[in-house]
Amino acid sequence: MSQCPFSQNQSPEQWHDAQLNFSDSMSYGDYLDLKRTLSAQHPLSTDHNEMLFIIQHQTSELWMKLMLHELKAAREHVKCGELPPAFKMLARVSRIFDQLVHAWTVLGTMTPSEYIAFRPSLGASSGFQSFQYREIEFILGNKSLPLLQPHAHRPELLAELEEALATPSLYDESIRLLAAAGLAIDPERLKEVSHSRTIHNASVEAAWKAVYQDPKRFWDLYQLAEKFIDLEDSFRQWRFRHVTTVERIIGFKKGSGGTEGVGYLRKMLDTELFPELWSLRSTL
C-alpha cells in the first residue's frame, strides 16, 4: 500500500487545503475577533493619512489595556508579598513601553501638512482624554483629582478612575512591604491614600537606601526597586518620544481639543513616579 497521503485524484495543494477547512471549528480570525477589530477604523475625512493616525492610537490603547492587566495583577502580588510573579509582570510593562516608543517613529513619518489636512475631523477629541492612560498613571502613583474632569461626561469611566484614585498605588503597596520587612516608615505615609502625585518622603528614601546597601538581605525588595526603575526609565523614553513627535508635527500650537500640547508634555518629562528610588542614588 502506498504511504503517500494524497489520493491519486488529489494534488498536494488540494490535500493541504482540506486540512485547513475551518468551517466547523474556530479559526485564527475568529479567536482574535478580527472582523470587528479590523472594521473599527472610521476616518472622518477623505485624507489618506488619517488612517495612520487612527491605527497609531488604537494600537496604543490596546497595549495600554495589556499594561493595566499586568499592573493591576502586579499590585495584588506586591500587596500579598508575592514578589517573583510581580517581577515578570513589571518587566512586561517596561517592554510594552519600549514597543510604544518605537511606534512614535511610525507616526513621525507624518508631516505637518499631512496632519493639517485632516485635523479638523478630530473635533474636540484629544489623547489627553485617554482614560486608560490616566488609569495607568494613577496606578503608578501619579494621581490628580482635576484630571478626572475630562471624563465627567462618561459616568462609567469616571467611576473606574475614581476607584483608581482612591486605591493605593503600586508604589504605595511596595512601601508597605518595606515596613513589613522591619524598615522604619513614617506612619502617616503608610496610612494615607493620596489623591495627588507621589511626594518624596525622607523615611521612604532611607528605607530604600538600606535595601540598596544590603541587597543580599533584602534581595526581593532590591529586585522590586530595580523593576520600578526599569519601568520608569522606559516610561520616560516614551514621554520624550511623545513630546518630540508632537512638536515635530504641530510645533507649539494648541493640541486638539484646546489642550496645551507640547508645553504640557514637556512639563510631564520632569514628573517622577518613584522619587525616592532616584534621589537615593546621589547618596549611596
Q: Write the pLDDT tens digit of every residue in 113-166.
A: 999 999 999 988 888 789 999 999 999 999 999 889 888 888 999 999 999 999
Q: What is the pLDDT of residues 34-70, one digit of tens each?
A: 999 999 999 999 999 999 999 999 999 999 999 999 9
pLDDT for the residue numbered 83: 98
pLDDT for the residue numbered 174: 97
Q: What is the pLDDT of residues 161-192, one digit of tens each?
A: 999 999 999 999 999 999 999 999 999 999 87
pLDDT for the residue numbered 255: 61
pLDDT for the residue numbered 16: 63
Residue type, 61: E
pTM assigned to the model: 0.87
CB-based contacts of 279, cutoff 8 Å, min separation 6: 200, 205
pLDDT for the residue numbered 6: 47
Q: How far is CA 172 from CA 132, 189, 190, 278, in A?
A: 20, 9, 8, 16
Average pLDDT, the chain: 90
pLDDT for the residue numbered 25: 81
pLDDT for the residue numbered 21: 65
Q: What is the pLDDT of residues 221-269, one digit of tens each?
A: 999 999 999 999 999 999 988 888 888 888 877 666 556 667 767 777 7
CATH number given to 48-282: 1.20.58.480
